[in-house]
Amino acid sequence: MTPLIILTLVLMWQAVLVGYAFTLAGNAAEEGVRAGTAAPRGERYGVCREKALAQLSGAWREGASVTGCDQTGYVTVDVGVKVPVLFPGSIDFPVTVYGHAGAVEEVKR
């Protein structure tokens, strides 16, 4: 019975990591788009990307990808985060979860 209990706990922990990866990706995308809408157009991509990646800790940041950030009018950001096996910093599943956010560009007057 003990191996079955351990296997169940490991699978539950892995499910928690998948959910946490979705949360991290969504939060990073929201912070990136927030910074991107306020940044000048020429600097938008760098500011947006830096802010999105800053929201991820070192182990989660390694395999992360940030796309978007360079639109005008309506700015969108997609952040992809790799799902680790059992704990961040180890090997990753060949699965990437994505967070998406969008906001209207701020107009400076």
Q: What is the rounded CA–CA span in Å between residue 90 and residue 68?
A: 28
Token representation of residue 104:
């209207």
pTM for the predicted model, two decimal places: 0.82
The verdict on residue 6 lying in a domain is yes
The verdict on residue 109 lying in a domain is no
- Chain segment 9-64, per-residue pLDDT in tens: 989 998 898 899 899 999 999 998 888 888 777 777 788 888 888 888 888 888 88
Domain range enclosing 91: 2-104
The verdict on residue 26 lying in a domain is yes
Number of domains in the chain: 1
